[in-house]
Amino acid sequence: MPKPLVKSGALIDGYTIGECVHAGGMATLWTVTHPGIDVPLLMKIPRVSEGEDPAAIVSFEMEMMILPRLAGPHVPACFGTGDFAHQAYVVIERIGGTTLYKRLPDLPLPYDEARQLVAKIATALADLHRQNVIHHDIKPSSIMFRDSGEAVLIDYGLSHHNHLPDLLQEEFRLPYGTAPYMAPERLSGVRDDQRSDLFSLGVLLYFFTTGERPFGEGETMRAMRRRLWRDPYPPRSLRADYPPWLQEVVLRCLEIEPVWRYPTASQLAFDLAHPDQVKLTARSERVKRDPIGVAWRRRFNQGVMAPRAKSDVAAQIASSPILAVALDTVEGAPELNEALRVTTERILATLPSARLACVNVLKLNRIAIDRTLDEQGSNKHIDRLVALRHWATPLKLDESRLSAHVLEAVDPAAAILEFAEVNQVDHVIIGARQGSFRRTLLGSVSAKVASEAACTVTVVRPPRMAGEAGEPNAGEVPG
């Protein structure tokens, strides 16, 4: 292998090497400049000298394959790579600030601050998973934040890309990762399940809200294997004031079996954004660890970690979307709301892991003072929440898959569009009433949502406007 060319002032493929800003166990980071690029840059170079871990080389090969295929605000922009024949490297943008690792002396963080922090990371993970990549090394030192507040995931040497060869899987039998954050299935060689990242994020949320890691610091295989049959101590056993909704979220992320965790990072981000909508189960009430008898049954149950069929990241995400149905609970025609329910039920029937958000907009006056009570003295907001829940009752959805939201806004269409964007909604279902002079002049809410939404939109018309009586007329508009 050629002698490394790296030193301050050296020129590699047009990049001028600056100073070394970090020397890690598997790679070094150097500032670089290029005459055609006007943003701050870093060059990452693997350690390849005699005696270095061969996994470091394979890990760097994975990073060189994956990084150029990624895009968006939640990943570092990649500007170039070099092969091992001359000098292996990856050039990425230099993101200002520090990693989340710098916050460790501040732990535990206030609950609401930790909630918002991890919600941003979950949003970043959702974006990464949509690009067919599972990170597999979610930890504080792998997370940064842009000045705009968006989380950025770095270090892709241990990642899995659904459309690329998994060199780590092919060449090494032992699982690679950061032991305190590693999901149980990783110990059995499973690398193609996106929910492994959600387990790691659950470890981080537990750590940042209690100050202790749920599985300790053990890095031996024997110590790590305990998480195949032992649950962590519930956060409420460490902090008496721990919010039940937060414990529900944390322990769901830390379930041993991936199927019991959140199906997608988007759904986890949704719960973190709406803690009042989190459905509480027995998880939220635990104050003691699982009984030893339960742990022993898990340990000797050969089916606990049974071999799984190969997963498809895109297919997992597609089967677990977030749907939003926009309803008018006050002036909406009963036949239109029924048509919306029929259409929603049909869509949900094909998506057993989908989440449904029922949305209503309480329209505010542009000039006049808005009243919170109606003419009968009832609270408008509460009445509409009750109406949304009543509308959804015939769908017979599990409470963990259903939420109700009353938005207050002057512009209903803009409020629905913002809700869809902020909550990573995949599909909006909205009704269109019969035409009127006012709608013709000003434009309808459904038309604006359908034309401007970044996701799929299904517009439903009342039965009397459909081709056949009793059948809703739905038209799907891709975002």
Which of 93, 116, 138 is at the close of a domain? 93
Cα 98 to Cα 147, 154, 209: the distances in Å are 11, 12, 20
What is the reported pLDDT for 222?
77
CA 405 to CA 325: how far, in whole Å?
10
**DSSP string spanning 206-246?**
HHHHHSS-TTTT--SHHHHHGGGT-PPPPGGGT-TT--HHH
Q: Can you tell me the mean pLDDT for 418-427?
A: 96
Whether residues 248 and 338 fall in one domain: no
Count of structural domains, the chain: 3
Q: Does an H or E element contain 39, and which? A: strand 37-46
Once rounded to an integer, what is the mean pLDDT over residues 462-467? 58
d(CA 174, CA 252): 27
- Report yes or no on 1 lying in a domain: no
Is residue 45 domain-shared with residue 164, that is, in the same domain?
no
Tokens of 7: 């030193």
CA pair distance 323, 395, nearest whole angstrom:
14
Residues contacting 479, CB < 8 A, separation 6+: 453, 454, 455, 456, 457
Nearest Cα to Cα of residue 117 among 103, 132, 133, 128: 103
The reply to whether the predicted model has a pTM over 0.85 is yes
| Helix or strand run (H / E) with residue 293 | helix 292-299
| Angle, CA of 439, 442 and 444, to the nearest 5° | 50
For residue 190, give every residue at least 6 positions away whose Cβ sits within 8 Å of its Cβ, in sequence order, or none: 196, 308
Residue 283 has pLDDT above 90, yes or no: yes
| Residue 225 CB-density burial (10 A; 0-12 exposed, 13-18 middle, 19+ buried) | middle
Beta strand 456-461 pairing with 427-431: parallel
pLDDT per position as a tens digit, 296-311: 676 777 454 455 556 6
Q: Which CATH number characterizes residue 340's domain?
A: 3.40.50.620
Domain boundary among 252, 272, 307: 307
Residue 315 falls within a domain, yes or no? no
Task: Check residue 48 and give its pLDDT.
Answer: 75
Eight-class DSSP state of 118:
H
Q: Label the pairing between strands 427-431 and 322-326.
A: parallel
Residue 364: inside a domain? yes
Residue from 276, 247, 112, 130 nearest 194 by CA: 130
4 lies in some domain: no
pLDDT digits (tens, 9 = 90+) for 174-199: 788 889 999 999 988 899 999 999 99
Q: Can you give the residue range of the structural domain that contains 333? A: 321-477
Largest CA distance in the chain: 83
Domain boundary among 71, 93, 115: 93
What distance in Å separates the CA atoms of residue 93 and residue 79, rounded to the nearest whole number?
A: 8
Rounded Cα gap, residues 272 and 113, in angstroms: 11
314 within a domain of the structure (yes/no):
no
In a domain, 429, yes or no: yes
Residue 356 lies in a domain: yes
| 264 and 151 within one domain | yes
pLDDT for position 104: 96
What CATH number did the domain enclosing 107 receive?
A: 1.10.510.10
Same-domain pairing of 344 and 457: yes
The pLDDT mean for the chain works out to: 87
Which range (269-283, 339-353, 368-382) has the least confidence?
Answer: 368-382
Percent of the chain beyond pLDDT 90? 65
Predicted confidence (pLDDT) at residue 124 exceeds the cutoff of 50: yes
Q: Would you say 364 and 408 are in contact if contact means Cβ atoms under 8 Å apart?
A: yes
Beta bridge partners of 460: 431, 474
d(CA 307, CA 292): 25
In terms of pLDDT, which residue wins out, 112 or 221?
A: 112
Same domain, 282 and 176: yes
Are 385 and 457 members of one domain? yes
Average pLDDT, integer, range 45-63: 80
| Same domain (yes/no): 209, 285 | yes
Q: What is the DSSP letter of 379?
A: B
pLDDT in tens, 216-245: 887 777 778 888 888 899 999 999 999 999
Q: 427 with 375, same domain?
A: yes
* Distance (Å, whole) CA 197 – CA 183: 8
Same domain for 121 and 255, yes or no, is: yes
Are 381 and 301 within one domain? no
Indicate if 206 and 325 belong to the same structural domain.
no
Q: Kind of pairing, strands 89-93 and 151-153? A: unpaired
236 lies in a domain?
A: yes
Residue that has been written with the tokens 């970044």 in this structure? 454
Q: How far is CA 266 from the centre of its chain?
A: 4
Contact by Cβ (8 Å): 299, 230:
no
The SS3 of residue 288 is coil
Same domain for 40 and 89, yes or no, is: yes
